[in-house]
Amino acid sequence: MKVTLPTQALIEGIGHGAAVAASKSPKPILECVALHASQATGVSLEATDLDVGIRYQLDDAAVAEEGSLVVPASRLLSIVREVDEDETTLQTREGNLSVDTGRSHFKVRGENIEEFRRLPYFPETAAATVPAGLLRNLIRRTRFAAATEAGRFALHGVLLNIKGKSIEMVATDGRRLARAAGTLAKKAARDVRVIVGPKGLGLLERVLATSDASGEVSVAVEERQVLFRAGGALVVSRLIDGTFPAYEDVIPKSSKYSFEVTTAEFAAGLRRTSLMTTRDALSIEVLIDPETLTLKSRAVEVGQATIEVPVRYEGPPTRIGFNPQFLQDALKVMDAAAEITVRFTDGKAPVTLSDLTSDGGEELGSYVYVIMPVALE
């Protein structure tokens, strides 16, 4: 194999592969990326940790000699990042990879390519196609809410539900829930209802962030895997087994009261209030009055804070306790310049947050975030 590629494109591709490859594994092959060079199809890169995988086409590659090689991902990425030339030449010599650029020459030890598990190819027909910008926003607005603690396995993933022209993604850890939905331009060929791991979705979001956001992503499900094809990239994620909870029952159908607040001002108030919380005292008190939202925190060992935020509210004074991190997580994925609506009934019932500007938007879709209050002393 001998190929010459634009250095920046090579860094981008290896970066995606390194995000997949296991950093420490009893199987060294899982810490590697596989490079494939063909006169007909150009140069592609593959990486997998057996749960998540990526095949990435490297653009503008000049293939002088065909071939394949497997090398450690992080090592190759570190080398290529040091290249200060516009182009980099990769060449195999006696089972190793030579990286040549200007006056720099590296030789990276290759692994046995027979041990590398190749990724599946995308089927001839997709189950559905989703606008790249919409899919990226659905991922960004839900993935963070998936469970990370030991417990119900199904909660460790994000529900992807496509039916007809509707698409939604839902994640919950039992204490909060994020649901984002949108509308497709074209009806799905087949319904899709699967639970996808957050690592696979994070990789897909990363790929979409560096590709043409105006394009489309093809989605398919085969043999306990979901496949996403976006341009020259294929992201594969093993599905999570289990039954996703009946999330529709968690989202309140109605609430007695609501207030409107600017996302940026609410986020700034929460950030300041959180300065006076600790791991053992991770809660804040929210006092809701007409025109003013008062945020309070207190920890004996650090002190206390009182922050006021302007709001629009018509209703009785109400006191609710929250985990501030759960609120901040949601505000980070909302439009900072927009207003959000916060709906509630009392200090014990679930509270919902939603964007006033996101309902029906092609790229943002609709969004609702549900959070359970915490008990106050």
DSSP conformational letter for 245:
-
Residues 148 and 242 in one domain: yes
Cα–chain center distance at 252: 26
Domain that holds residue 218: 128-248
Beta bridge partners of 175: none
Residues 139 and 223 in one domain: yes
Whole-model pTM?
A: 0.92
Question: Beta strand pairing status for 233-238 and 52-58?
Answer: antiparallel
Q: Identify the domain boundary among 214, 248, 282.
A: 248
Which among 162, 127, 20 is positioned nearest to 77, based on CA atoms?
20
On whether residue 77 sits in a domain, the answer given is yes
> What pLDDT does residue 212 have?
61
Residues 236 and 262 in one domain: no
Query: Distance between CA 176 and CA 255 in Å, rounded?
Result: 17
Which among 309, 314, 351 is positioned nearest to 330, based on CA atoms?
351
On whether residue 50 sits in a domain, the answer given is yes
Residues 309 and 289 in one domain: yes
Domain count, the chain: 3
Residues 214 and 295 in one domain: no
Which among 47, 65, 339 is positioned nearest to 207, based on CA atoms?
47
* 3-class secondary structure, 264: helix
> What pLDDT does residue 149 have?
83
Residues 240 and 261 in one domain: no
On whether residue 145 sits in a domain, the answer given is yes
Two structure tokens written together for 217: 């992503």
Q: Is residue 181 within 8 Å of residue 168, measured between CB atoms?
A: yes
- 134: part of which helix (H) or strand (E)? helix 132-140
Q: Identify the domain boundary among 187, 217, 248.
A: 248
Cα–chain center distance at 249: 25
pLDDT in tens, the chain (377 residues): 999 999 999 999 999 999 999 777 788 899 999 999 999 999 999 999 999 999 999 989 999 999 999 999 999 999 999 988 999 999 999 889 999 887 888 999 999 999 999 999 999 999 999 999 999 999 999 999 999 887 778 899 999 999 999 999 999 999 999 999 999 999 999 999 999 999 999 999 999 998 765 689 999 999 899 999 999 999 999 999 999 999 999 999 999 999 999 999 999 999 999 999 998 888 999 999 999 999 999 988 899 999 999 999 999 999 999 999 999 999 999 988 889 999 999 999 999 999 854 444 455 568 999 999 998 87
Two structure tokens written together for 21: 């490859």
Residues 213 and 271 in one domain: no
Judge residue 82's burial from the number of C-beta atoms within 10 Å of its C-beta, 0-12 exposed, 13-18 middle, 19 or more buried.
exposed
> What pLDDT does residue 150 have?
75
On whether residue 331 sits in a domain, the answer given is yes
Count Cβ atoms below 10 Å from residue 182 Cβ, excluding itself.
25
> What pLDDT does residue 356 have?
58
On whether residue 318 sits in a domain, the answer given is yes
On whether residue 283 sits in a domain, the answer given is yes
The CATH number of the domain where 31 resides is what? 3.10.150.10
The amino acid occupying position 363 is: E
Q: List strands edge to edge, sheet with 96-101.
A: 62-65, 2-6, 87-93, 96-101, 104-108
Which among 221, 136, 228, 134 is positioned nearest to 184, based on CA atoms?
134
Residues 138 and 216 in one domain: yes
* The total number of residues written for the chain in this structure: 377
Q: Identify the domain boundary among 202, 221, 248.
A: 248
Residues 256 and 351 in one domain: yes
Query: Distance between CA 297 and CA 309 in Å, rounded?
Result: 14
Tokens 């394009």 identify what position? 215
Query: Distance between CA 155 and CA 245 in Å, rounded?
Result: 8
